[in-house]
Structure 1
Amino acid sequence: MTILTVSVLFTGCADKKFTKEYDITNSDYAYNITNVAENLTLKPFAADLCVVSDNVLSDDIDDSLSEAAALFGVDSRQVLYAKNVNEKLYPASITKVLTALIALEKGKLDDVITVSKDAEIKESGAQLCGFKEGDKITLEQALHGLLMYSGNDAGVAIAEYISGSVEEFSDLMNETAKKLGATNSNFVNPHGLSDENHYTTAYDLYLIFNAAMKYDKFVEIINTDSWTTSYTLSNGSSKEITFKTTNLYLKGDEKSPEGVTVIGGKTGTTNAAGSCLVLLSKNESGNPYISIVLKAGSRSILYTQMTDILGEINK
């Protein structure tokens, strides 16, 4: 077994020099290794990512409004705001960003999914698109229902399409999260309904969302306020359905700070998780930012804090 001892600069939003010994045959490491003309080339895992260990606060943001929150410059790799970004919390429906990422990696948009009875979630308060056993939907339709309307039944349909079962898909979610560096998370379902073993952090969600936004279809869907389509019911007839976004910035009910454009994102709400939101926004120069708020006390408080956080972009 070959062991390397390397001393390199861990780059990102903070510079931390450290020496790490590891096995180059193991895929679980902090560096990507490539063989170039039989020479090992090391690239820091976080070379293109924000890195944060301590709180980065602002006098213009009320830190008491949520349990955790953050603002990351995607291209600049700057941490503009961070509070409790490594605290393990329930993500609610922000979970669906990881579900969508895997679907886009593994699936084909025009593939047809036959909905199973397991998608007909009976839990009180669960957001549902209304898909029934035997209905046929495309992956693209499922993704719109998942990301725009936050349909939990769409999440189950996608999970079973990709992996055959929710349990197998959850294993894939955790495997994918780990590869992204989201090592403080554990997922047990594709939709985010509460489970004590289903949790993540604001920083892990940044890593997951950052990966998802590299797919044009993901950005297109989260940037859509209304989308109408028709799918096939179990009896062979056609049904038209319209998905509307749950994002109040896209709906026009909330206004972002001047000079900041909200592209889209994902909402999430359960009793245990509180009100949650992750956003992709751009400044006047077109530079992208990812902002996250977890466990705000209410929807109005959530958007108040998110707007204040977005205000940091223009400073």
Structure 2
Amino acid sequence: MRKIFLFITTFVAINSLFVSKAFGDPNPSPPTVASEAAIVLEANSGQVLYDKNANSQMYPASVTKIATAIYAIETGNLNDVVTIGSNASARHVEGTTVFLEKGEKVPLKKLVQGLLINSGNDAGVAIAEHLSGSEKQFSKDINTYLKNVIGVQNTNFENPHGLFDSDHRTTAEDLAKITRYAMKNPTFRKIFGTKELEWDGQTWDTTILTHHKLVKEEIPYEGVTGGKNGFVIQSGYTLATTAERDGLSLIVITLKGSMKNDSYDDTIKLLDYGFKNYRTSIIPKGTKFMVGDQEYIASEKIAYTYPKNEQLSKETKEDGTLKITTQEGIEIASYQLNEVVNETNNVKTELKRKPTNEVSFESIFGHLNTYLAYFSIAFLLSIIGLFYRQKI
């Protein structure tokens, strides 16, 4: 009897070990970061995985240039040849430049590259004057664009480059939204992830290099797709970073690090946290759902992000609302599907997401866990039966 008891105890222990490995804490603990504000945003779903003072207005420094770049790409003609004015010459602009000269002719695309890759403040002024006539008008134009097109609420930019102005402010959340929007543009995405570029200027022939240590692989990190750093005394060290692994696309913003390494250390911690603990699932565009005799369809791709060890359920309500909930019944996301009104798939409504974090893969493990439990019970009962038959 003792041998069977030891066998059963060992079997249960091994079984428990298997289950705990498959299903850990559904609410992982975030890391501690030194930067005063930070956020981790999953780009596919738009869900926030971590935030610290993400809505506090702060000085962004050169991370501003993400907004200037996407605004120039979307509202300007990248083939335009820009004649550099005196205000945009390197002699009149503080900080990092690409050494533009008054009267020099530079394609708009090249100015955007100099702006993002080498953080050229003179390139920012040249872009602003080309698009809006002056930096003052540019600030009005870009603020309108950021609010109406991207949907940020707590940002006011006074210049195109991020040099200090007491009214030049934004938040970690707004910067994450701007970066998410910009990364959907292939031109921006390519420039944002460029490590180096040959620069043939009127007075400066060189190879410009990104200043972002993760992008140029000075600090190796798997999956980094782009980034922009910034610093002025009043802002401290700021950093925007994008990275992708296994279908998870993360945007990390850190603001007001007191030391340069703070921004990078915090960013690596937050990327590790996201990739270790979360996954994103996709419901493809065109997926159909039935509720009784009524058919609904997803008119857009639906993405939702959740802890890797959380099991979720999907249910379509009679009004066409797709609800995604935990096994405890807690709703983490809700989407309004389109109602199919005839055989040609005409629809009556648009897909709208009601933000709130799936588990298609974990659901499989949930079923396996249940089957394993049944098998364990049956197996133990068989062992006990054999023991008593031997005793008889």
Q: Determine the structure 2 residue equivalent to 1:255.
A: 220
Q: Determine whether 1:271 maps to 2:240.
A: no
Q: Deviations over 1:174-233 (max 9, x none)?
A: 1012112211111110000000000000111111111111111111111111100324x3
2:143 paired with 1:174: yes
- Listed as ranges, the matches of 1:177-188 within 5 Å are 177-179=146-148, 180-188=150-158
2:54 match: 85
The match for 2:181 is 211
Q: 104, 111, 117: which one pairs with 1:135? A: 104
User: Matches of 1:81 and 1:58 in 2, distance apart?
Assistant: 11
> For the Cα contact (< 8 Å) 1:70–1:202, is it kept in 2?
yes
Q: Indicate the residue corresponding to 1:242 in structure 2.
A: 207
* SS of structure 2 residue aligned to 1:227: strand
Distance 2:224 2:265 in 1: 14
Which residue number corresponds to residue 52 of structure 1?
none
CA RMSD of aligned residues (A): 1.9
Q: What does residue range 1-315 of structure 1 map to in structure 2 within 5 Å?
A: 59-63=29-33, 65-120=34-89, 126-179=95-148, 180-231=150-201, 233=202, 240-256=205-221, 260-283=222-245, 285-313=246-274, 314-315=276-277
Query: Deviations along 1:11-33, whole A, 9 cap, x unmatched?
Result: xxxxxxxxxxxxxxxxxxxxxxx
CA distance in 1, matches of 2:182, 2:30: 30
SS at match of 1:279: strand
SS at match of 1:248: coil
1:214 match: secondary structure:
coil
The amino acid of 1:274's aligned partner reads: G
Q: How many pairs align?
A: 249
Higher-RCO chain (CA-CA 8 Å, sequence separation at least 6): 1
Residue 77 of structure 1: how far off its partner (Å):
2.9
The DSSP-based 3-state class of the residue aligned with 1:254 is: coil
Partner SS state of residue 164, structure 2: coil
Give the letter aligned to residue 212 of structure 2: N
List gaps (5 residues or longer) in structure 2: 1-26, 278-392
What's the offset of the Cα at 1:122? 5.8
| TM-score, scaled relative to structure 1 | 0.75
297 and 124 in structure 1: CA distance in 2 versus 1, 3 angstrom threshold: farther
1:241 is displaced (CA, Å) by: 3.5
8 Å CA contact 2:125–2:135 kept in 1: the answer is: yes
**Partner AA of 2:105 in structure 1:** K
Compare the two structures and name the one with the higher helix fraction: 2
Look up the equivalent residue of 1:195 and give its one-letter code.
D
Residue identity in the other structure for 1:100: A
Aligned counterparts of 1:266 and 1:140: Cα–Cα separation in 2: 17
How far is the alpha carbon of 1:112 from its aligned partner? 0.5
SS at match of 1:250: coil
- CA contact 2:225–2:242 (8 Å) conserved in 1: yes
TM-score of the aligned structures, taking structure 2 as reference length: 0.61
Q: What fraction of aligned residue pairs are identical, expressed as a percent?
A: 37
Q: Paired residue for 1:48? A: none
Counterparts of 2:189 and 2:70, CA distance in 1? 11
Cα offset, 1:75, TM superposition:
1.3
Tell me the amino acid that sits aligned with residue 57 of structure 2.
K
Gaps of 5+ in 1: 1-56
Look up the SS of the partner of 1:217 in the other structure.
helix
> For residue 45 of structure 1, what is the aligned residue in structure 2?
none
Shift of 1:239: 5.4
* Correspondence for 1:16: none
Structure 1 counterpart SS, 2:36 = strand
Per-residue CA deviations over 1:223-275 (Å, capped at 9, x if unaligned) read: 111100324x3xxxx8533211011012222132xxx4110111111101111
